[in-house]
Amino acid sequence: MSRITVAVAGSTGSIGTQALDVVATEPDRYRVSVLTAGSSWELVAEQAHMVKPDMVVIAEHASLDQLQQALPAGVRAVAGESALREAVAAADVTINGVVGFAGLPVTLACLQAGKRLGLANKESLIAAGPVVQRARSTAGAELVPVDSEHAALHQCLRANAVSRRVARLQLTASGGPFRGKAASELSEVTVEQALAHPTWAMGPKITIDSSTLMNKGLEVIEAVELFGHRAGVHGVGIDFDDVDVVVHPQSIVHSMATFTDGSTIAQLSNPDMRGPIGYALAYPDRLGSSFGLLDWSEPLHLDFEPPDRQSFPCLDLAYEAGRIGGTAPAWLSAANEVAVDAFLAGQIPWSGIHEVVSAVLTTHDGGTGETLVDVLNGDHLARVRAAETLAGRL
Ligand SMILES: NC(=O)c1ccc[n+]([C@@H]2O[C@H](COP(=O)([O-])OP(=O)(O)OC[C@H]3O[C@@H](n4cnc5c(N)ncnc54)[C@H](OP(=O)(O)O)[C@@H]3O)[C@@H](O)[C@H]2O)c1
């Protein structure tokens, strides 16, 4: 039997490198056919020597010649969006581990080609909801979430697939490095402190998003896009009022679904992203082996508490953008990308992230986000507004 070909988009990042680990565990079943990176041509070339893909795509045109020379014989280097779309469309499954809005072409190329998308890049779905929903309706297209909470919800809902009587979804959150801190204690936190996530080792953008709880807010929008009214036949009809955020510092329960009869189904496993990546690859089957099992011979303590919405106002900001709809989530996500970059560059304090995103969102122009052009314009305008807001602060 021929092997399933896998495109790993963003292969040089945290999700990408873990996706390569997962594929390597079942070499008779999967083969990496495409690797993509932003600018890290040396690292992606090293990966190509290990996995021997058909093609490597680099976003930065300037590195194309160096990349081609560094690749093993028979592996083609390409750059640019149309090459990227072709490469992704040719693979059976794509794991989208690109960070930020830059992941949108991968999401659309895969779904529009009628293929399976393992989606880690939440920003593309959040920013371009209606456009991605249409692409999701392409014959053969399938979206299986890789974000651990949504992979958990996918499994909880699947466990009850015969009845769609879902009352609420509970998204769990580790609480990040600043859980338990009062707003007054958070004004002076450093980049290093914000990057020290207690349970997950991830790329810098999502780690900062976890420290502000913006990540959880983005995940609330992601959950509504994946499982809500707008997802049509793919959804279970929930809306923003039906999604709870529950702080669970151990990151063992990855999320839960509560049904109309009061039963709650949860998915538990160690905090290791290779689990959800493997789930998205193998669904509806499962991988043949695990990346570590919970040890039930030892006492296991699981805590749950409500989020502190005063100290972490980005959470409610995301609910607000999600409820506004249209391009408001695209504006939220774009302004957040700009603000997180500014925080990482030492230009604004941690609390400035919320201030910038909130200021940009108040100027939202009511864009509907129904077309790709509308989404691209919305993303651009929000970045301009965020840059202006930053300039006013500096
Ligand atoms: N990490 C996790 O555990 C985790 C968990 C859940 C969800 N996610 C989601 O998964 C996505 C990736 O997160 P990550 O932590 O893996 O990020 P990361 O470690 O920063 O990796 C980002 C990847 O995207 C590539 N990239 C960056 N800018 C690009 C551009 N303009 N065009 C094309 N490729 C570009 C990078 O390539 P270069 O190396 O060349 O820059 C790298 O391969 C995010 O949406 C995140 O929210 C991550």
Nearest to 128 by CA among 149, 145, 153, 103: 103
Mean pLDDT across the stretch 187-200? 92
| Beta strand spans in the chain (E) | 4-9, 30-37, 55-58, 76-79, 93-96, 116-119, 142-145, 166-173, 243-247, 253-259, 264-268
Ligand 1 surroundings by CB, under 6 angstroms: 10-16, 37-40, 59, 97-99, 102, 120-123, 147, 200, 202-203, 205-206, 273
CA of 74 to the centre of ligand 1 (A): 27
Residue 327 has pLDDT above 80, yes or no: yes
CA of 17 to the centre of ligand 1 (A): 10
Q: How many CA atoms lie within 13 A of 261 on its CB side?
A: 5
Give every strand in the sheet of 30-37, ordered side by side: 76-79, 55-58, 30-37, 4-9, 93-96, 116-119, 142-145
305: DSSP letter: B
Q: Taking the alpha carbons of 268, 15, 333, 183 in that order, is the dihedral positive or negative? A: positive
Contacts of 181-190 with C-beta under 8 Å, sequence gap 24+, read: 181/311, 182/311, 183/310, 183/311, 183/351, 186/311, 186/350, 186/351, 187/349, 187/350, 187/351, 188/349, 189/349, 189/350
Helix, coil or strand: residue 352: helix
Q: How far is CA 236 from the centre of its chain?
A: 21
Q: Taking the alpha carbons of 332, 108, 98, 227 in that order, is the dihedral positive or negative? A: positive
Position in ligand 1 atom list of the atom nearest CA 207 = 15
Cis peptide before 145 (omega within 30 of 0): no
CA of 247 to the centre of ligand 1 (A): 24
Residue 344 has pLDDT above 70, yes or no: yes
Residue 193 has pLDDT above 70, yes or no: yes
CA of 122 to the centre of ligand 1 (A): 10
Q: Which of 36, 47, 202, 219 to mutate to test the pocket of ligand 1 (most atoms within 8 A of CB)?
A: 202
Distance CA 264, CA 169 (A): 9
pLDDT digits (tens, 9 = 90+) for 20-59: 999 999 999 999 999 999 999 999 999 999 999 999 999 9
Tokens of 123: 């920003």
Q: What percent of the chain has pLDDT over 70?
A: 99
Q: Which of 8, 11, 14, 210 to mutate to test the pocket of ligand 1 (most atoms within 8 A of CB)?
A: 14
Nearest to 16 by CA among 46, 27, 28: 46
Band (pLDDT 50/70/90 cuts) for residue 234 is confident
Looking at residue 91, its pLDDT comes to 98
Q: Which residue has the higher pLDDT, 347 or 394?
A: 347
Residue nearest to ligand 1 atom 28, measured at CA: 38
CA of 39 to the centre of ligand 1 (A): 12
Tokens of 148: 């651990």
Q: Which of 99, 149, 226, 379 to mutate to test the pocket of ligand 1 (most atoms within 8 A of CB)?
A: 99
Band (pLDDT 50/70/90 cuts) for residue 199 is confident
Residue 262 has pLDDT above 90, yes or no: yes
Q: Taking the alpha carbons of 295, 296, 299, 304 in that order, is the dihedral positive or negative? A: positive
Q: What percent of the chain has pLDDT over 90?
A: 93
Residue nearest to ligand 1 atom 35, measured at CA: 38
Residue nearest to ligand 1 atom 32, measured at CA: 38
**What does pLDDT average to over the chain?**
96
Helix, coil or strand: residue 136: helix
Residue nearest to ligand 1 atom 47, measured at CA: 206
Looking at residue 90, its pLDDT comes to 97
Looking at residue 394, its pLDDT comes to 60
Mean pLDDT across the stretch 285-296? 96
Band (pLDDT 50/70/90 cuts) for residue 230 is confident
Position in ligand 1 atom list of the atom nearest CA 15 = 16
CA of 231 to the centre of ligand 1 (A): 25
Mean pLDDT across the stretch 82-96? 97
CA of 303 to the centre of ligand 1 (A): 30
Looking at residue 200, its pLDDT comes to 86
Residue nearest to ligand 1 atom 21, measured at CA: 13
DSSP codes, 16-69 = HHHHHHHHHH-TTTEEEEEEEESS-HHHHHHHHHHH--SEEEES-GGGHHHHHH
> Does CATH place domain 4-145 in 3.40.50.720?
yes
CATH code for 325-394? 1.10.1740.10
Q: Euclidean distance between the first and final Cα of the chain, in Å?
A: 60
Looking at residue 168, its pLDDT comes to 97
Band (pLDDT 50/70/90 cuts) for residue 189 is very high
Looking at residue 232, its pLDDT comes to 84
Mean pLDDT across the stretch 361-390? 97
User: Is the overall model pTM greater than 0.95, yes or no?
Assistant: yes
Band (pLDDT 50/70/90 cuts) for residue 161 is confident
pLDDT digits (tens, 9 = 90+) for 307-322: 999 999 999 999 999 9
Domains of the chain, by residue range, sit at 4-145, 149-322, 325-394
Band (pLDDT 50/70/90 cuts) for residue 256 is very high
Query: In angstroms, what CA-CA distances link 42 with 38, 67, 262?
Result: 11, 7, 53
Residue nearest to ligand 1 atom 3, measured at CA: 202
CA of 98 to the centre of ligand 1 (A): 4
CA of 203 to the centre of ligand 1 (A): 6
